[in-house]
Amino acid sequence: MAEGFDIDHLAKLARLSLTAEEKALYSSQLNQILGHFQALADADLPATIDDARVVNEAALRSDEPGPVLGAEAVTRIAPASRDGQISVPRVVDDES
């Protein structure tokens, strides 16, 4: 089957530096794994929701505010903190 992925891109996302031999090996193994999933995807199954995992609205929480930990407790469990905030190495990627 044709490869549904780009091994260089995957290696980059995984922060892996691969040799040509490794790329060939992992590409072949990934293809096998994807082949298994393709077999599952091809199986003729009804698109139903697993009833065993369904709850009704009684399982929801009421909108009642409860206790909080407090900034002191929150920052105490962090490796580093400053001014009531958790201190981390500088990150710039603007996620969210």
- Nearest-approach distance from CB 14 to other proteins, in angstroms: 9
Instruction: Name the DSSP letter for residue 84.
Output: T
Beta-bridge partner residues of 82: 85
**Residue 31 contacts residue 24 (beta carbons within 8 Å):** no
Only one residue has tokens 């930990």, namely 69
Determine, following the binding rule CB under 8 A, whether residue 56 of this chain makes contact with other proteins: yes
Give the interface segment with other proteins, choosing from 16-24, 26-34, 36-44, 45-53 (CB under 8 A). Answer: 45-53
Spell out the long-range contacts of 77-85 with Cβ–Cβ below 8 A and sequence spacing 24 or more: none
* From 22, 24, 35, 70, residue interacting with other proteins (rule: CB under 8 A): 70
Q: Does 45 bind other proteins (CB under 8 A)?
A: no
Interacting residues toward other proteins by CB under 8 A: 9, 12-13, 49-50, 53-57, 59-71, 74-75, 82-96
